[in-house]
């Protein structure tokens, strides 16, 4: 069965990531990059439109392929992993190191909502969203970091952050 994908993208960088995904799967799937114009037509009577279209094309109907389609709903859901640490180190020190770590990963800061700092990061495995929350406690700091995305990017980013943060917290004792 063939599927027609219409993918909207916002930036040239995003288009390049789409091209990269196509190249990675070209040997596993029959992938054909279409040339020309992709149009979605709604309605039952498209014959008048097609007649007008064929009349305007140099080769008439020869270069026009028409597929009946219905929207496909993917069953793939985002996955999340959460890292939780409790440490005797003061909150601001842990926050600064975590920001340094995310900056080192080229994560982009997106803002704060309800005390959770949000970031996004692009890796060779894909894009992930990262939320960080730091809570000051009587005996130190509680750190909660949640990584959300699709596929292998979530465990990849989780392991990287967990490894570096764990090392920092152990060495700072």
Angle at the Cα of 136 from the Cα atoms of 78 and 132, rounded to 5 degrees: 20
In this predicted structure, what is the pLDDT of residue 134? Answer: 96
pTM of the full predicted structure?
0.75
Domains of the chain listed by start with CATH number: 1-73 (no CATH), 79-171 (3.30.530.20)
Per residue in 98-140, pLDDT (tens digit) is: 999 999 999 999 999 999 999 999 999 999 999 999 999 888 8
């Amino acid at each position: 069965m063939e599927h027609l994908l219409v993918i909207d993208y916002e930036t040239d960088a995003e288009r390049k990531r789409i091209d990269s995904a196509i190249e990675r799967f070209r040997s596993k799937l029959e992938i054909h990059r279409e040339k020309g114009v992709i149009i979605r037509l709604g309605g039952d009577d498209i014959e008048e439109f097609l007649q007008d279209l064929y009349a305007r094309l140099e080769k008439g109907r020869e270069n026009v392929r028409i597929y009946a389609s219905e929207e496909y709903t993917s069953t793939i859901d985002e996955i999340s992993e959460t890292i939780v640490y409790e440490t005797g180190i003061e909150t601001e020190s842990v926050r600064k190191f975590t920001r340094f770590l995310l900056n080192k990963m080229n994560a982009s800061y997106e803002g704060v909502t309800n005390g959770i700092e949000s970031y996004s990061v692009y890796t060779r495995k894909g894009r992930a969203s990262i939320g960080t929350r730091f809570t000051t406690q009587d005996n130190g700091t509680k750190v909660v970091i949640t990584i959300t995305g699709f596929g292998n990017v979530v465990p990849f980013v989780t392991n990287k952050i967990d490894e570096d943060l764990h090392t920092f917290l152990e060495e700072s004792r």
